[in-house]
Amino acid sequence: MPVPLSAQEATVTPTQNIEALRCHSPHPVDIDEVEPLQHQIINTEKAQRMAEFFSLLGDTNRLRIVSLLAIAELCVCDIAAALNMSESAVSHQLRTLRSMRLVRYHKQGRKVFYHLQDQHVLDLYHSVAEHLDE
């Protein structure tokens, strides 16, 4: 959900924001350098969606589930056994991961198998794990 702008923020142009910084900063702001950057900043709505995405991954159990699914496609009972969690708890976490399009599933007979949504999710997981191992 986008963060609402105050009435003052809604009427201030990017250049006016830069000018306002100039008044409070001991160093002058280089408008020619800063203004082009403002057009490259992600918008508030996308920033909010990304924050929600990353906060979703802020849960230990969800990350552990992602770590398993980065290795293999698994059913709920196998994930629960591997993580020593109840199937109900795993199902709840998988619903949350599905809602943010991090995992998908397919049915094979009566079993439901989960896997990471796509290569982007796997790459993100590996990048963060590698960064933390450095």
29 assigned to some structural domain: yes
Mean pLDDT for the stretch of residues 95-99:
94
Q: How much of the chain exceeds pLDDT 70, in percent?
A: 77
Tell me what the mean pLDDT of segment 67-78 comes to. Answer: 94
**Same-domain check for residues 45 and 14:** yes
Backbone φ, ψ for residue 96 (5° rounding)? -65, -45
Both 70 and 96 in a single domain?
A: yes
Pair (120, 68) in one structural domain: yes
Label residue 102 exposed, middle or buried (CB < 10 Å: 0-12, 13-18, 19+): buried
- Cα 93 to Cα 106: distance, rounded to the nearest angstrom: 17
Looking at the fold, whether 47 and 64 belong to one and the same domain comes out as: no
| H/E run at residue 28 | none
Identify which of 32-41, 48-57, 81-90, 114-123 has the greatest average pLDDT: 81-90
Same domain, 68 and 36: no
Which sign, positive or negative, has the C-alpha torsion 30, 35, 40, 45? positive
Tell whether 45 and 18 lie within a shared domain.
yes
Residues 71, 111 within the same domain: yes
Domain range holding 69? 60-133
Is 109 part of any domain? yes
Same domain, 106 and 123: yes
23 and 88, same domain (yes or no): no
1 domain-assigned: no
> Which residues, in sequence order, are bridge partners of residue 113?
75, 106
The domain total for the chain is: 2
Q: Are 28 and 89 in the same domain?
A: no
Q: What is the pTM for the complete model shown? A: 0.69
Query: By the 8 A CB rule, do 29 and 23 touch?
Result: no
